[in-house]
Each structure stands twice: as structure tokens, then as C-alpha cells.
Amino acid sequence: MNHTEIAVTIKLFAAYQEAYKVPELQLTLCAGTKVSQLLENIISQHPELEKWRNVTKFGINLNFVPPETILKDGDEVVLIPPVSGGLNNFRI
């Protein structure tokens, strides 16, 4: 890796983990890569994830961030799709 590249860890959950069949990825990216570009890369390798593009939230180093956030070397990125499930007829 040189100074124009960064290494990031991507934590995968729900649909992303199901598609990749691993809980995390280690990627080397170009310096200046935005979180939205990372998502584009992730979806391009697994097109079935396209339906989650506009509803996925992002976290970097335990903080929610907007899609235009630029990644830095060593960042831990979390892709957070919507959560589903629970009880349909829950009553108190």
C-alpha cells in the first residue's frame, strides 16, 4: 500500500453479510474515496444488494456519517441496512 491508498475494514450485517458470507471485509481503496463510493463497490460485486442502496445508513469508527464522508486509512466502516422482524401482535 502506498500513500495514495488507504486500508479500511467493513463490518457487514444482515443482507450484506448474507451476500458476502463473511462478517467483515478488508479493502484497499484510493485515498479520497467517499463512503457512497464504497457502497457502490460493494453493490457492484453483489447486484442483489441494489434494493438496499437508498436505505442503508453508514457508520465510521462508531459514529453515524453522511454518504459524502471521505474515508481515512484505518477506518472501520459499518453498513447498516434497515432492521426488520419483531412481533406483529404485540400488546401491553
Task: Supply the pLDDT for residue 2.
Answer: 65
Burial 3-29 (b: 16+ CB within 10 A, else e): eeebebebebeebbeebbeeeebeeeb
Task: Report the range of poorest mean pLDDT among 12-16, 38-42, 69-73, 83-87.
Answer: 83-87
- Kindly indicate the confidence band of residue 84, based on its pLDDT and cuts at 50, 70 and 90: low
Is residue 49 within 8 Å of 18, Cβ to Cβ? no
pLDDT digits (tens, 9 = 90+) for 41-55: 999 999 999 999 999
pTM over 0.85: no
Q: What is the mean pLDDT of residues 58-82?
A: 96
On whether the CB atoms of residues 77 and 58 are closer than 8 A, the answer is: yes
In sign, the C-alpha dihedral spanning 51, 44, 14, 83 is negative
Q: Which three cell numbers stand for residue 27?
A: 479493502
State the CATH architecture for 5-80: Roll (3.10)
